[in-house]
Amino acid sequence: MRRNAAALVAAWLVLPLNAQQFKFNLEHLESKASNTVDLSLSGSTLRFAAKFLDDDDEDEVKVKKLINGLEGIYIKAFEFKTAGAWSQADVEQLRTQLRTPEWSRIVGVKSAEDDCNAEVYVRNEKGKVSGVAIIATGTTSLTVVNIVGPVDLDSLADLSGHLGVPKLQSKPGRKM
Amino acid sequence: MDWLEEELRNALARKEPSPDFAARVHDAVRRPRTVFNIRPWLAAAASLIVMGSAGGAAWRHHQGVQAKQRVMLAVRITAAKLNQIQNHVREVNR
């Protein structure tokens, strides 16, 4: 009986960790930020929300298809009024958590012109994509995303240009 | 055992009712009885159930719309970041 109770408590403690694949540990930036977005959408919330997505709306149909099978979406996004509000240590502690055999960095972007540094990591388990992590930083912004579950990055990126998000087009003749 | 017999005799001895006993019984019989009417209670319970379930459905719908808005915001943020990254990668590959 006591062993069962201990197992239940252990399962309860482990569950939130399993849901989100790495910890953001960025709460200390909230007081410095002028804008904060903190989204924790568990699998059950995604399934519940999917019921309210409109089947007659093209974008919402795409979103419904995209979130189908996902186990969670976790986002922390900060905007700051001044530079230097976040430190490299804040980003490094995220990278450290992603330096495990399951995670592999697939893209790293550094652009002085756009003030945009971004990295995309993919988590593979048993030969299948089981998660995605995005770390995007600017001088006055920091965004961390963890999508838990199988996700099609191309179709997700294609959603910009829809949903009220302007689709960025490459500037002709621009070189990095 | 005399004391016991005496006690029993006293306890079981015939006693005359009080003089107003018949009148009290008569009054009690004539007094209109308050009958518990279940109908208004049933109606109140039914309307409470209807109001409760309607309120519950409205609350659930509100929660669903909120969840949908949060999902759309999450997808919007992620899509914008990925598009930004894709755009940079395309430029580099040119």
C-alpha distances in Å from residue A172, one per residue of A49, A139, A157: 40, 25, 20
How many angstroms separate the CA atoms of A135 and A42, rounded? 20
Contact A171 B80 (CB under 8 A): no
Q: Which of residues 33-62 of B touch A (CB under 8 A)?
A: 61
Which of the two residues, B39 and A164, has the higher pLDDT score?
B39
Which of A117, A128, A175 has the alpha carbon at shortest distance from A151? A128
Contact B70 A41 (CB under 8 A): yes
How many angstroms separate the CA atoms of A77 and A145, rounded? 8
Condensed to tens digits (0 to 9), the pLDDT of residues B57-72 reads: 899 999 999 999 999 9
Contact B91 A161 (CB under 8 A): no
Contacts of A158 (CB under 8 A, 6+ apart): B79
Residues of A in contact with B80 (CB under 8 A): 160, 165
How many angstroms separate the CA atoms of A119 and A101, rounded? 17
Condensed to tens digits (0 to 9), the pLDDT of residues A95-154 reads: 999 999 999 999 898 887 767 799 999 999 888 889 999 999 999 999 999 999 998 877
pLDDT over threshold 60, residue B52: yes
Look at residue A9 in the predicted model and tell me its pLDDT.
52
* Residue A69 Ramachandran class (φ > 0 left, ψ -120 to 50 alpha, else beta): left
Contact A165 B74 (CB under 8 A): no
Provide mean pLDDT across the span A70-96: 94
Contact A13, A88 (CB under 8 A): no
Strand order in the sheet with A116-125: A35-42, A72-79, A141-148, A128-138, A116-125, A103-111
Which of A89, A103, A82 has the alpha carbon at shortest distance from A26? A89
Nearest-Cα distance to chain A for B58, in Å, is 13
> Cα–chain-centroid distance for residue A6?
32
How many angstroms separate the CA atoms of A23 and A93, rounded? 9
Convert B30-93 into a string of H (helix), E (strand) and C (coil): HCCCCCCCHHHHHHHHHHHHHHHHHHHHHHHHHHHHHHHHHHHHHHHHHHHHHHHHHHHHHHHH
Its pTM stands at 0.72
Contact B75 A170 (CB under 8 A): no
Q: Which of residues 135-174 of A touch B (CB under 8 A)?
A: 136, 143, 145, 147, 153, 156-161, 163-165, 167-171, 174
Instruction: Quote ipTM for the complex.
Output: 0.80
A111 contact B CB<8A: yes
Of B73, B74, B82, the CB nearest to A157: B82
Contact A168 B77 (CB under 8 A): no
Beta strands per DSSP E along chain A = 35-42, 72-79, 103-111, 116-125, 128-138, 141-148
Nearest-Cα distance to chain A for B33, in Å, is 55
Q: Which of residues 12-71 of A touch B (CB under 8 A)?
A: 37, 39, 41, 45-46, 48-53, 60, 63, 66-67
Of B70, B87, B94, the CB nearest to A168: B87
Contact A70, A46 (CB under 8 A): yes
Which of the two residues, B78 and A156, has the higher pLDDT score?
B78
Condensed to tens digits (0 to 9), the pLDDT of residues A23-53 reads: 999 999 999 999 999 999 999 999 999 999 9
The mean pLDDT value of chain A amounts to 83
pLDDT over threshold 80, residue A6: no
Of chain A, the percentage scoring pLDDT greater than 70 comes to 80
How many angstroms separate the CA atoms of A147 and A160, rounded? 17
Residues of A in contact with B65 (CB under 8 A): 52
